[in-house]
Structure 1
Amino acid sequence: MRRMGNRATNITVLLIVAALVCLCSTASAAVEEFTYTAGRFGTVHLYRSTPRPRHVVLFISGDGGWNLGVVDMARALAGLDALVVGVDITDYLKQLGQSGEACLYPAADFESLSKYVQKRLGLDHYIQPILVGYSSGATLVYALICQAPDNTFKAAISMGFCPDLTLPRPPCKGNGLIWQKRPDKGDYVFKPADHLPTPWIAFQGEIDQVCDAGRARDFAASVPNAQVVTLLKVGHGFSVPANWFPQFKRTFAHLAAPSDTPASAGISDLPLVEVPARASGSHQLVVMISGDGGWAGIDRELSKGLAERGLPVVGIDSLAYFWTARTPEGASKDLARILRHYLPAWHKEQAILIGYSLGADVLPFMTSRLPADLQTSLGLIVLLGPGHETAFEFHVTDWFGLGGRVKQFPLLPEMSRLPPSPTLCIYGERESDTLCRETLPPSVQKIGMGGGHHFGRDVKAITEAIIRAIAKQ
């Protein structure tokens, strides 16, 4: 692990944090502590001061593991009305080393961890997590937000950031992680990202002898949406909370503030995202249902591309919407509410319905149950990467082992119930489990594209296919 030579000193310093932070927080609410076992993360440590916290923090330790120093940092964070999920980076990286993956994609692991913990705790809606990392965890936090699709994490905070990290094998590029391997070590040195929409704040001690504050400032200056908070009288151990926690608290409050969402009467209970068009000449609007990762990645990029071509988009965040169980009938009624609101509000005559992944799976059920007058207002239906069956509830079924099974609905019979609007079934040519390879009604046009379920991330090609189909109407 990197910087191990400094750990004996750092751990000793961190032990002091326990007493100091406790003294600073004796007046705060009692913090509940418990643990879960979570796949390759091993034991994760959870902290909360209220039964239903307003925020979620994924907190990654440094090379010293989950010791007393980071424990009290986590407890202090829990006092900010946050559910803190503590990850021991040493345990996690050991498990990564035993995987057979050609490249490492920890961003997906941490996204899954957030969903697993929140679902297991029974939170009534999904809360987009904020990443916080200390020391080597600070470096991993930066890598996560560079890898992850846009909007996967709400924000990221690095405490004591250096750009190098020891990993068992190369990290995947993902959404834009850039790195260089040191030939004489197992270290990977991360480079400033060209594209980083997720806010990243580095808290850097001015007297840090491990990770130089000036180097961190130079690094962040080349990263979009990045900022360094320089802390006077703070070293790598963050041993005096009074010298850094007030600044941290203010920054956290700013990053955790709720995003603006549509509040129009009649639809304010739905997790919607509005993407206005650059031009208003089209008589059509788009309603897009995201994949189960939420409004991130392909969904965001495709909506942006369509908006640039003059089509305003209303997005439904599937992760938030299907966090609680739905029915085909109830989901269709919600789609009808959206159409009845936005068609007149945006002065449009026709709607184009698009679904990706889970969104593509549920869209046929929602469309076939629309009232007749709304079915006649549909100009085009687009299914991106549909499978063969679907559930109307988000469910964790991967290596976290959250048991139970939700009701599955087969898609193929539902395709024959679609309205006669032109329909595109777009699939990745490397996908095997896709509805688009089945015998479908004549109104459905099949389009194969390069790549697998993510279409090689060629969102431009998807956009052009949709625009061509619209032009044929």
Structure 2
Amino acid sequence: MIRRSWRLLLAALAIVLFIVASGVWIWTRPAPPASLEHLDLEGGAPLTSVTPATTIKTSIALAVTAEEMLTDKQLLAISKDASARIIQVVLPKDDCVLQQKTFQAALQKLDGPAKVVGGIGPGATLAWRWLAEQTDDKAQAISVGFALEHVSNPPPVLEEDEKPPQICDVPLPQKAAHGHWLAAWNDAPDDPSAAFVRDQTNAETSISDYDIPLPQVLNSELRHLLLGENDSGGLGIPTVEVPASQPSDTVTLFMSGDGGWRDLDKVVAGDMAKMGYPVVGIDVLRYYWEHKTPEQTAADLTDLMNHYRQKWGTKRFILAGYSFGADVMPAIYNRLAADDQNRVDAIILLAFARTGSFEIHVDGWLGNAGKEATTGQEMARLPAAKVFCVYGIEEKKDSGCTDTTAVGEAVQLPGGHHFDEDYPALAKRLIDAINKRQGKVAAQ
């Protein structure tokens, strides 16, 4: 009888544990991805439709141009993170009447009223027109690159027998009685457009650096509106922010070792931040848990750079990597666009090996170098003036810093893979190396 009672108790306990475990899994599992579809409107205008896998919390309509549009990746990230139903329509060129008709047709594909409307260029004007028609004080419009020149058609250049575009006979609304309007630019707006925005009591403005792409501005402003200050940017790369106590125009993007953001990289980043050098850590363990190509990582790093140019006003970047992060860094830098490479002042490689992998392997945690490819060929292509390669004396024989293909400055420190754990001194060396490459006085 007692044995039977124990069996019943154990069975009941197992059921309870199963229920609890299931609940924890349901609570902590990542949100499922959104679905995306490309289609054409009746007039041929391309439209992207995105639906979240979760309950829809908001509906967004975007009007853009073929040259300046949000990517599928950005749309999917917004939809997933904000549980947003989204449509993005590409407006036809140089015909404001047709643009208005196209946008109205696109709104019908939203399956309900839009709560947020954003636009770039001529789409910025359409966003304002939409807001002026709203009766809900919660309506939100984001106009990126707003200019009064988009209100009517530009003077047409016509071929023989070609009909001119229709004239926009609907004047631009002078006020929007409800809702909120954000006008954002990546350069100083023209005076008439700026004056128009300043006259609106429910408007605010934002001006980013002149070379930040307008789609990036729209993406950032949308995410800020929907997700707030702590938004991660919808980036495909897991990051840890280590801000400095004082403003700086330079940020170090620091790729961790294969154990993740937890040891040398974390401590050194903290020491750098205390000395006024902000760091954004990249958790290699999570990022490279599945294979990434160098090209994929370079694209993600570009997104990361654009994000912090917008969020923190960053002008210059330092690329740093420890162990695994150092091994992959040369190949990543070599695949960045020239403009992004020109924003990088230094490439810091700590415990750089002669082979590297773009996927985490368990044996890497035991101190074995990756076996995917040698690093020397990529290292040899780096600009020598930017490279600062640090190795421990115990690893001198096998270090990528001492290989015949190595370029730049190599520095030997006591110890092995962790440099005898003298992390404050290491942070000071890195800051001195950064200052040297930026032409600044060495940190005291």
Q: TM class, shorter-chain normalised?
A: 0.3 to 0.5
Q: Which of the pair has more CA radius of gyration?
A: 2
Q: TM-score, normalised by structure 2?
A: 0.47
Q: TM-score, normalised by structure 1?
A: 0.45
Larger fraction in helix: 2
Pick 1 or 2: higher relative contact order, CA cutoff 8 A, min separation 6.
Answer: 1
